[in-house]
Structure 1
Amino acid sequence: MTMPQNPLGGTHVLNGARGFFRLAEGLRWRLALGVGLASAAALASFGLLVLSGWLLAGAAVAGLGGQAAARAFNIMLPATGVRFFALVRILARYLERVVAHDGALRLGGRLRGWVYARLAPLAPAGLTSMQGGDLLGRFVSDTDRVAAYYTDVALPFCRALLCSVVFVGVFACVLLSAALALAVGLLLGGVLVPLVVGPAMDRLVRLAAEKQSYVQVELAQTLQNMGEYLLWDGARSRTRHWHAQQAVVDGARWKLDALESAARGLIGMITFVTVLGVLVLAASACQAGQLHVAEIPMLVLGVLAAFDVAVPLPMARQAGAEARFALTRLETSSAPAPAPAPVAVVGEAHKPHAPYDLEVQGISFAYPNTITPVFQNASLTIRQGEHVALVGPSGIGKSSLINLLFGFYAPHSGCICFGGVDVSTLRAEDMAAFISVATQDFHLFAGTLRDNLLLAAPQATDQELADVLEAAQLTKFIQSLPQGLQTWVGNDGLRLSGGQARRVAVAQALLRGTPWLVLDEPTEGLDAPLEQALMAALVRRGTRTTILCMTHRQAVLPFMHRVVRVEDACFRPGGGSDMKN
């Protein structure tokens, strides 16, 4: 598996604005252009409204002043300005949407790459404390909220800051007292109001997000076990439980909406007071001869246009709280795993080499938060080309050997060598180049049979597919399907029987053609004749392949060279077979 490019590096943690700024490396000019275009649109709207007030008021005054005054009023200047600002506003808004949202989508793609690059090395050991619905919610919803920080938070606040300075500067050129009144109003509406409502928004955002995450987790688990809930008539109780939890989420969202609406209303009141103040100051200045009467509506309308950049700030403050909480969840979910991480070693000289022997030397291991050891000073050697059955009761530790072999967990003591190399120095993808595994808890994706097979070997030919299907005893089944390999298997292989789905997993492992083949209960759910045919085909096909078969079925043992029993946390000889391959 090839990890995606990580703009933040493999171990760097997104740390607030600094991490976000680093995430935007290479996109900063694009993001700055989005802020510039948004500011240009707001400034054009301000200029359009101000010049419209001057044009209408000036034309009215000139008309009332008689023919001489009408001729003296140059209507072409403000009219041209109105057309110019109208055109600029349209173009700036369109380009701002294109540039800003393109930047946000690019940020989202980078952020998902960062999250995946952090999560993939943790699986499965580092993700055991997280539930599937919550993990999916974080990967999808939380990355969207963090990526939207640019369009929903940074852009509105930057636009408000830049435009407010220009608005106050323009007013200062006309009337200084009006500029001071506008500055005070913008500070109250754009700074004080978001600060006042911020703490309450933080609490409600956290409550809503935590409850929503809980509902997603419960819903995902219920859907996965829907058959059992319907069988035991538990679906109704689960529905009532969801309604109760969703009511809490809806209540928090309603309070957030009410709080944001109240903040907007407060900004509206501040706008009204500022308009009255500027109107009084402008009228006084007009009486004192400092201002033309046509400039009074220009200043009043300018105040209304200036506050357009302050009105979205409460919503931006709420989006900021959501982005910060989502960022915290992403950082928590991508924290380093408690087990020592495998060291990635580059170079062919440090990779496993023939003969691909497995040597387990005195390992001891227990799963986190458990007392009973899975292995205690256990040793095992499997030579290349051997067919070995690993037997023992369920839960004794047969499958745990796979987790240790691929470095998903680290043994507490001892070491495991494969092909002359300590597996602790290898990545899981390095081991996957030599070992194919058909696990007991395999997963089939919602696609066609061909799609699921090609996941194991995307470049496989039709003949190779036919060969592995024959070995997995699936040829007749595929031929009986109207659509053959194009048959849709459903979510998690729901349209296949348990035995059919298990044989598809075996075919996937065979298709990779690795020197080692690990089979975990490959014949579970098969009748006796099909079980014998499958094992015989696997043995014929794998004459030069090392086969490690974990099973509790006695019918499989005659096909193996020897049997190893897992008991008392150790590997012990369990007999052999007389069958010759």
Structure 2
Amino acid sequence: MSGFSRLSAAVRWRLAMGLGLACVAAVASFGLLFLSGWLLAGAAAAGLAGVGAARAFNIVLPATGVRFFAMARILARYLERIVAHDGALRLTGHLRTWVYARLAPLAPAGLTDLQGGDLLGRFVSDTDKVAAYYTDVALPFLRALVCGFVFVAVFACVLQSAALALAAGLLFCGLLVPATIGHATDKLVQVGAKKQSHIQAELAETLQNMGEYLLLDAASGRAAQWQVQQSELDGARWKLDALEGLARGLITIVTFATALVVLMLATQAYRAGQLSAAEIPMLVLGALAAFDVVTPLPLARQAAAGGRLAAKRLEAACAGQPQGNTMPAVGLPSAPYDLVLQNVSFAYPGTVTSVLDHASLTIRQGEHLGLVGPSGVGKSSLINLLFGFYAPCGGRMMFGGVDVSTLRAEDLAGLVSVAAQDFHLFAGTLRDNLLLAAPDATEAELSDVLDAAQLTQFVQSLPEGLQTWVGNDGLRLSGGQARRLAVAQALLRNTPWLVLDEPTEGLDAQVEQALMAAIIQRCANTTIVCMTHRTAVLPFMHRVVRLEDGRFYPEGG
């Protein structure tokens, strides 16, 4: 938790104020019952003793105290909820920003070992648990510590033997009970978190690929597997609830046992003339009230186990090393934006087959290059290397006169636009997806790229036009429409370089020719690298290079 505790510095005054208000509320609750016992018993004793005794009993002091503590408890609890939860929510925001800032440079290479659903669960659920460590763990334990001393000190002012009995009961319930259930709680929380993470990851993957599961008639089988996993998760949660209930039951027994001991000690002190009759119920009710601060501690111990595990999971997710450079570049590329590969070698981590083997290639600014080769040979790897998603094993890559290894992906994003083969459309409107590439684009610019992508007629046929919802991952569009929308996104950015990875896949011949002709006309001075299997695209290129056996060869050479 030490790595995340530093994030609380920005909200430390709110957290400290929340703790103070929580302690005030607990002390007020204690004082309310403490003085109520004195007030009720004293008033009853005075009434039974007659008018003279009633006049001798000062009812104003305890009555005033009761009213004061009742109002203080209400106000303190209200303010504590506002201040403490405001601090926790602010802490959640800082924590999620911190986590995102460390996850973003790892993508995509550094996150290949994590499933999307699991990563999302860690970002959402685990950050919530870590941020809630303050309200669910720190606040209850610190309140019990501070208020425990106050309660014992108050008892000591009245009857020291009762104070010792109360201190013993509070120590047992506040320390021994949470410690006793600690090991079992940690184990059950780990089992539950592992099951929950697995279910979330599998569910996200299944929903994302539901079409394939239905075609293979595997959807019902997945449901049966989840039922088994959910039963195991429910079992772990039931055991946690049972353990917490057992601890609460033990605290309740100790509470009444302590109150009984206090009653015996107070009675003995009364017979010895050390206490008045009204102070006996005052001490008993005070003892019962004092244990309110230790009753939540078993649940807080459970939350502590969950918070520590969540912190470890977040640290593990953020522990990877970015493949590319994450520091601001010393020098940025400058025109002419030529790409030069000199004896570059590359293999994906965990594989033995080289994608590039001492490969060399030069692409001049303004050139239109077609890159062809057998499927799976690694043509798309050029994008990963250019943006620093993966680091080459050897050789050197220069872009605009600057070594690519010194650049961040953000530095190249302003110079290179990519329409990837495995593009992603977000669940939004057509306009939302276009503006994601260029937030400040005008209506004229949107219309221009739609014309180039051969989508104008399609958009005009839609009742809602650009406000049409595309669905999750663009499922409401055909494959060709979605691909052309990705091309339109890349064109909208209007950068010196344009990389097209299978831009005409799934298009008929007429649309393919119209699309390529529009792109070439619009981007006559733009460097275009087109990776394709479609031979009809190649006549639009200035030259064609084949990637084979880890090397670049002129087509036909």
Question: What is the TM-score normalised by the length of structure 1?
Answer: 0.95
Q: Does 1:161 align with 2:145?
A: yes
Look up the match of 2:65.
81
2:249 to 260, 265, 279: 265
The residue type equivalent to 1:198 in the other structure is G
Task: State the superposition RMSD in angstroms.
Answer: 1.0
Look up the match of 1:395.
376
Look up the match of 1:430.
411
Q: Deviations over 1:39-89 (max 9, x none)?
A: 000000000001111110000010011100111112121111111101100
- What's the secondary structure of 1:25's corresponding residue? helix
Q: Does 1:317 align with 2:306?
A: no
2:355 to 355, 362, 374: 374
Task: Please show how residues 31-46 of structure 1 align to structure 2 within 5 Å.
Answer: 31-46=15-30
Task: Please show how residues 109-188 of structure 1 align to structure 2 within 5 Å.
Answer: 109-188=93-172
Look up the match of 1:342.
325
Return structure 1 stretches of 4+ with deviation > 4 angstroms.
none
Q: 1:340 to 1:228 in 2, by over 3 A?
A: closer
2:80 to 86, 96, 119: 96
Q: Does 1:563 align with 2:544?
A: yes
Q: State the shift of 1:209 in Å.
A: 0.3
Q: Deviations over 1:174-216 (max 9, x none)?
A: 0000000000000001110000000000000000000111111
Q: Does 1:459 align with 2:465?
A: no
- Cα distance in 1, alignment partners of residues 539 and 178 from structure 2: 75
Q: State the shift of 1:19 in Å.
A: 2.6
- Cα distance in 2, alignment partners of residues 296 and 195 from structure 1: 33
Q: Does 1:384 align with 2:368?
A: no
- What's the secondary structure of 2:10's corresponding residue? coil
Look up the match of 1:212.
196
Look up the match of 1:442.
423
Q: State the shift of 1:345 in Å.
A: 3.0
Look up the match of 1:476.
457
Look up the match of 1:28.
12
1:414 to 378, 391, 395: 395
2:28·2:70 contact (CA, 8 Å) conserved in 1?
yes
2:453·2:484 contact (CA, 8 Å) conserved in 1?
yes
Percent sequence identity over aligned pairs? 73
2:453·2:518 contact (CA, 8 Å) conserved in 1?
yes
- Cα distance in 2, alignment partners of residues 557 and 451 from structure 1: 32
The residue type equivalent to 1:43 in the other structure is V
Q: 1:459 to 1:509 in 2, by over 3 A?
A: same
1:534 to 500, 515, 527: 515
Q: Deviations over 1:244-275 (max 9, x none)?
A: 01111000000000000000000001101100
- Cα distance in 2, alignment partners of residues 237 and 524 from structure 1: 34
- Cα distance in 2, alignment partners of residues 20 and 362 from structure 1: 43
Give unpaired runs (5+ residues) of structure 2.
none
Look up the match of 2:38.
54
Look up the match of 2:236.
252
- Cα distance in 2, alignment partners of residues 474 and 523 from structure 1: 13
1:509 to 490, 503, 506: 490
2:38·2:282 contact (CA, 8 Å) conserved in 1?
yes
- Cα distance in 2, alignment partners of residues 343 and 249 from structure 1: 40
Look up the match of 2:473.
492
Q: Does 1:223 align with 2:204?
A: no
Q: Deviations over 1:415-435 (max 9, x none)?
A: 100000001000001000100
Q: Deviations over 1:429-458 (max 9, x none)?
A: 100010000101111111000000000010
- Cα distance in 1, alignment partners of residues 378 and 447 from structure 2: 34
Give unpaired runs (5+ residues) of structure 1.
1-15, 577-581
- Cα distance in 2, alignment partners of residues 265 and 382 from structure 1: 75
Q: State the shift of 1:234 in Å.
A: 1.0
Q: Does 1:290 align with 2:271?
A: no
Q: Does 1:520 align with 2:501?
A: yes
Question: What is the TM-score normalised by the length of structure 2?
Answer: 0.99
1:435·1:517 contact (CA, 8 Å) conserved in 2?
yes
- What's the secondary structure of 1:284's corresponding residue? helix
Q: 1:343 to 1:113 in 2, by over 3 A?
A: closer
1:182·1:274 contact (CA, 8 Å) conserved in 2?
yes
2:324·2:408 contact (CA, 8 Å) conserved in 1?
no
The residue type equivalent to 1:438 in the other structure is A
Q: State the shift of 1:346 in Å.
A: 4.4
- Cα distance in 2, alignment partners of residues 103 and 20 from structure 1: 15
Q: State the shift of 1:525 in Å.
A: 0.6
Look up the match of 1:3.
none
- What's the secondary structure of 1:459's corresponding residue? coil
Q: Deviations over 1:326-381 (max 9, x none)?
A: 110000011122x644152345xx10000000001100010011011000000000
Q: 1:556 to 1:364 in 2, by over 3 A?
A: same
1:142·1:327 contact (CA, 8 Å) conserved in 2?
yes
The residue type equivalent to 1:459 in the other structure is D
